[in-house]
């Protein structure tokens, strides 16, 4: 049976780490399911790792819906989250609902939306109409041009405070997972202490309720210069299946991420 949001919440309650990976097709979905991955994210990172762009900005709702249908056909037990790509959630709550509904019809159980407090009305609109939302804070790759590159966020006190107040506002608005990307470990730990919903980290902290990585990064097929938070598990495991197994084991046992995968203030 497919895991539900309630299952992820129960995992957090009993202190069991959530192992999430991105996934874009049905063959990988089958391998990730067999390796014990709890949740699959159809991320707009597909713009880079599948389509060859230098950012996620060109990805469309139709692209995410297509890859979501592929993933859902390949695995019947992991929880499925689909990314709301650039331009699909920034105009009106009504338009966001239409786009999110397309991803839910493709098989997503939750949509992920980047952004801070300005997304509160949109998230309230979706959640009160039956669409669960994961909010994505910290380094939000769709804002790469505003940030001037894929840079760690929240190093200054003002930025750290804004990420915290954004995350609290998004939780209040009804977000039921918060994904924290590329912030200093101290900032991530502050978020984990103050939020009640499960937090999912990537370049954040081992304190998060779960972790996510881009699947191609764990099998050594990611960017030539990998971000600090990447551990190419295939080097220690020798095969794709082994890398997935090692990733899940390392997340569940608290061995990943280590201090070397986290950012300092
Ligand atoms: O698009 C994506 O794959 C993501 C993860 C890197 C968190 O948002």
pLDDT in tens, 183-242: 999 999 999 999 999 999 999 999 999 999 999 999 999 988 999 999 999 999 999 999
Residue located nearest, by CA, to atom 4 of ligand 1: 43
**Active-site annotation holds for 171:** no
Angle of helix 120-127 versus helix 93-105 axis, rounded to 10: 50
Backbone angles phi, psi at 163, to 5 degrees: -65, -40
The response to whether residue 39 sits with its C-beta less than 6 Å from ligand 1 reads no
Q: How far is the CA of 154 from the centre of ligand 1 (A)?
A: 18
Return the beta strands (E) in the chain as ranges: 18-22, 39-42, 79-83, 110-114, 133-138, 177-181, 199-202, 210-213
pLDDT in tens, 95-132: 999 999 999 999 999 999 999 999 999 999 999 999 99
Residue of 114, 171, 181, 189 marked catalytic: 181
Minimum-distance ligand 1 atom for the alpha carbon of 212: 7
Give the gyration radius of the chain's Cα atoms: 17
Separation between Cα atoms, residue 144 and residue 147, nearest integer Å: 5
Let me know if 25 is exposed, middle or buried by CB neighbors in 10 A (0-12, 13-18, 19+): middle
The response to whether residue 83 sits with its C-beta less than 6 Å from ligand 1 reads yes
- Indicate which CATH number applies to the domain containing 66: 3.20.20.60
The response to whether residue 22 sits with its C-beta less than 6 Å from ligand 1 reads yes
* Ligand 1 probe mutation, 18, 19, 20, 22, most atoms within 8 A of CB: 22
Question: What's the mean per-residue pLDDT of the chain?
Answer: 98
Q: For residue 223, what pLDDT is reported?
A: 86
Q: For residue 40, what pLDDT is reported?
A: 99
**Percentage, residues of the chain above pLDDT 70:** 100
Residue located nearest, by CA, to atom 1 of ligand 1: 43
* Ligand 1 probe mutation, 83, 133, 135, 178, most atoms within 8 A of CB: 83
Residue located nearest, by CA, to atom 3 of ligand 1: 43
Q: For residue 224, what pLDDT is reported?
A: 85
Minimum-distance ligand 1 atom for the alpha carbon of 22: 3
The residue-averaged pLDDT of 157-167 equals 98
The response to whether residue 88 sits with its C-beta less than 6 Å from ligand 1 reads no
Instruction: Please give the tally of structural domains in the chain.
Output: 1
Q: For residue 75, what pLDDT is reported?
A: 98
Residues 6 or more apart whose Cβ sits within 8 Å of residue 130: none
Domain with 77, as residue range(s), is 5-261
């Amino acid at each position: 049976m497919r895991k539900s949001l309630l299952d992820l919440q129960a995992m957090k309650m009993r202190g069991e780490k959530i192992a999430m990976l991105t996934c874009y097709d049905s063959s990988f979905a089958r391998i990730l399911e067999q390796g014990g991955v709890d949740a699959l994210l159809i991320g707009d990172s597909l713009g880079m790792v599948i389509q060859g762009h230098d950012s996620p900005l060109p990805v469309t709702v139709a692209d995410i819906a297509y890859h979501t249908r592929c993933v859902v056909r390949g695995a019947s037990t992991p929880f499925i989250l689909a990314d709301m790509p650039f331009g699909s959630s920034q105009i009106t709550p009504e338009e966001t609902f239409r786009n999110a509904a397309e991803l839910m019809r493709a098989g997503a159980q939750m949509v992920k939306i980047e952004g801070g407090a300005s997304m509160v009305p949109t998230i309230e609109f979706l959640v009160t109409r039956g669409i669960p939302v994961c909010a994505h804070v910290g380094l939000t790759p769709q804002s790469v041009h505003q940030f001037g590159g894929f840079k760690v966020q929240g190093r200054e006190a003002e930025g750290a405070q804004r990420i915290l107040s954004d995350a609290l506002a998004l939780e209040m608005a009804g977000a039921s997972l918060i994904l924290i990307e590329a912030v200093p470990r101290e900032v991530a730990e502050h978020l984990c202490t103050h939020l009640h919903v499960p937090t999912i980290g990537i370049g954040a902290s081992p304190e998060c309720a779960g972790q996510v990585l881009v699947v191609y990064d764990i099998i050594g097929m990611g960017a030539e210069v990998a971000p600090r938070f990447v551990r190419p598990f295939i080097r220690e495991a020798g095969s794709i299946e082994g890398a997935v197994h090692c990733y899940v084991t390392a997340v569940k046992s608290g061995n990943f991420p280590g201090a070397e995968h986290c950012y300092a203030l």
